[in-house]
Amino acid sequence: MIHGDGIGPEIMDATLRILDAIGAPFDWEAHKAGAAGVKELGDPLPRSTLDSIRRTGLALKGPLETPVGGGYRSSNVRLREEFRLYANVRPARTLIPGGRYENIDLVTVRENIEGMYVGFEHYIPIDGDPHAVAIGSGVNTRAGCRRIAEFAFEYAAKHGRKKVTIVHKANILKALTGVFLETAREVGSAFEGRVKTEDRIVDACAMQLVLNPWQFDVLLTTNLFGDILSDEIAGLVGGLGMAPGANIGDGIAIFEAVHGSAPDIAGKGIANPLALILASGMMLSHVGRHDLSERLHQAIDQTLNQDSIRTRDLGGTASTSDFAAALTRRLS
């Protein structure tokens, strides 16, 4: 378990309290990463953290701060690369009725280790300007595209989903996202009759998500597009405070909230812990405890909708610990 930076320790404490109340089958090893790793061990991804995850195959992670522009490379991206966590699964479901969008139930499956996030970037200095030209390259491999497409279609089939929409930009990035589209279509054809396949160009998809999100079911996309679209989709269900994510590889999985360390509200005790709590629900399902995950979801529904206990980002007045206390009461 990694508490994380910013609001990380606040929402992690709330989540651990909930997992305790529900009788979750986890023993915890606490480790550092991100800014806390740098501060305490001089490393944003200390070896002790990596060794622990390698040994247990499982982690619950708070958000990790990444310096913008310069500084060290994202510990999140490095964790995904280190453990080949190729699938990023981000479900979004309406938990509070009466909002702008009702009955949203979407899952984004994002390729997690290729694309524009490989970090092949550099500057070319000209005339004393060290940043005169910036160059970045993306990498998508046939094997990587096949692996994530198979994951998405198998996920859809297993979870009774009807359709996978492949989201790309193959009209412009013809090679980089062309290979993604081509390979995902090929994988989709093997699921014909079980899961429908369609595709969309990413910009049109972004607009259609706002106009009519109900037409989508599972969205399968590349690393950068998945990062952006899943935040947009989080907005359909009440914001980043409601969006959990799982990073899955072969034999190793890391669960986290989609949001970051929210430095603007850190230390104020007002962060919404729900995204990390929902991520811990995904972790319970991952280890086969669907019963506990189901119970957790019921208690969340009761806390939000019957007790009307909500944090400020959801229009309520509850603090992080008020919400955790109310949810604990429902669980017990």
Residues that bind ligand NAD (CB under 6 A): 7, 11, 63-66, 76, 240-241, 256, 259-265, 271-272, 275, 313
Shortest Cβ distance from residue 267 to ligand NAD (Å)?
Answer: 12
Helix axes of 274-286 and 290-301: crossing angle, nearest 10 degrees: 160
* Cβ proximity to ligand NAD, 65 vs 114, nearer residue: 65
- 203 part of the active site: yes
Checking DSSP bridges between strand 244-248 and strand 253-257, what pairing results, if any?
Answer: antiparallel
Shortest Cβ distance from residue 57 to ligand NAD (Å)?
Answer: 19
* Cβ proximity to ligand NAD, 136 vs 267, nearer residue: 267
Return the DSSP state at 253. Answer: E
Q: Where are the alpha helices (DSSP H) in 159-273?
A: 178-189, 202-211, 223-236
Residue of 20, 51, 129, 203 with catalytic role = 203
Shortest Cβ distance from residue 314 to ligand NAD (Å)?
Answer: 9
Residue of 32, 86, 155, 169 with catalytic role = 169
Category of 119 on φ-ψ map: left (φ > 0), alpha (ψ -120 to 50) or beta: left
* Cβ proximity to ligand NAD, 156 vs 300, nearer residue: 300
Shortest Cβ distance from residue 13 to ligand NAD (Å)?
Answer: 13
Backbone angles phi, psi at 109, to 5 degrees: -110, 110
Backbone angles phi, psi at 147, to 5 degrees: -60, -45
How far is 85 from 68, CA to CA, in rounded Å? 23
- 169 part of the active site: yes
* Cβ proximity to ligand NAD, 178 vs 260, nearer residue: 260
With contact defined as beta carbons under 8 Å apart, do 33 and 79 qualify? yes
Which are the contacts of 191, defined by CB distance < 8 A and separation ≥ 6?
Answer: 153, 156, 157, 164, 197
How far is 116 from 6, CA to CA, in rounded Å? 26
Residue of 5, 61, 86, 117 with catalytic role = 117
Shortest Cβ distance from residue 59 to ligand NAD (Å)?
Answer: 12
* Cβ proximity to ligand NAD, 7 vs 59, nearer residue: 7
Q: Which amino acid is at 65?
A: E
So which residues are the catalytic ones?
Answer: 117, 169, 203, 227
